[in-house]
Amino acid sequence: MIVAVTPNPSIDRTVTLSAPLLRGAVQRVAAVVDEPGGKGVNVARALTLAGVEAVAVLPAADNDPLVTALQGSGVPFRRVPADQPVRTNLAIIEPDGTTTKLNERGGALDAASRDALTAAILDAAGGADWVVLSGSLPPGLPEDWYADAVALLATRGCRIAVDTSEEPLDALAAAFDRAAPDLLKPNAEELAGLVDADAAELEAAAAEGDTDPVVAAARQLVDRGVGAVLATLGAAGAVLVDAGGAWLATPPPIVPRSTVGAGDASLAGYLRATVGGAEPPSRLRMAVAYGSAAAALPGTALPGPAQLDLDGVAVTPISPMFTPAPARS
């Protein structure tokens, strides 16, 4: 089982425009879709579509619209009571796929909700293969909350994945000596920030086929105790680095429609392959197949297994212990 924790969940509202966004103008909306969201919720949604046992853990009031949306989605979840309403995040999608995101900060968690959330995570971890800690932290949770959670989970026998950014990511990195996760999933900007590199240079090099700067950056984190680093690089694909080697996966050609949730789908794909017993190159292949499939879908839609193009993902060993396994559905 995979436990996907979202401390700051959301209703993800996607507004699709029929013309480019014009600041200060009045425009007609072509479509509006609301989905239960937050990074961990997205991971749980994608895994559930694939038939992988997963549960989302999150704070929300019993009558919150997010709870209703989750009940209708078929995604198993465990709710921790919270007083504040769940935030609404807005994504504006233009005809060429350009996405503008407006994310609310989220409601504050009081001390009782904070303690209940931690207790629920530790309880769920008892029967879990993986615990995923994803997304931003709401007001009321300290910046080092993820670091503390990883340290507590390390005694529960599960593996731990973290996907976050900004101050919570910095605080986690500062505590790698006591709280290094089994998997860290940064994008280029987040990876660069952790090793004092330039994100634009990392992305530019990867786009030209030079993965050495990304691998060197990820290797620094592995050397500090992180089990594996899955660095997502947008259209350039992703790089996986662990103690056994490094691999690059490039995506199949797609027509991008929305990048919202693509990183979460990539993480779900990696975990799906991992619990299925796949070796690292095949985990990376599945991750990139999921991320590219999500980017080809509108709004915050997440792909199911039938929408993946595993054969279209090219995996290249950079310094491997393993060689890529044949693609499988």
> What sign has the CA pseudo-torsion 170, 165, 211, 248?
positive
Cα 326 from Cα 184, distance rounded (Å): 25
Cα 237 from Cα 257, distance rounded (Å): 16
Structure token digits, residue 285 = 């292949």
3-state helix, strand, coil in the chain (%, to 5): 40, 25, 40
User: Does residue 62 carry a catalytic annotation?
Assistant: no
Give the H or E element holding residue 291. Answer: helix 280-295
Strands 245-250 and 314-317, by their bridges, are antiparallel
> What sign has the CA pseudo-torsion 1, 184, 134, 177?
positive
Structure token digits, residue 13 = 């509202």
Q: Which of the following is catalytic: 12, 64, 144, 264?
A: 264
Q: What is the DSSP string of 176-201?
A: HHHH--SEE--BHHHHHHHHT--HHH
Cα 206 from Cα 301, distance rounded (Å): 27
Strand, helix or coil for residue 300: coil
Cα 140–Cα 142–Cα 147 angle in degrees, nearest 5 = 140
Cα 125 from Cα 2, distance rounded (Å): 9
The set of long-range contacts for 114-123, using a CB threshold of 8 Å and a minimum separation of 24, is 114/140, 114/141, 116/59, 116/80, 116/81, 117/5, 117/7, 117/57, 117/59, 117/80, 118/149, 118/152, 120/57, 120/78, 120/80, 121/3, 121/5, 121/57, 121/149, 121/153, 122/152, 122/153, 122/156
So which residues are the catalytic ones? 264
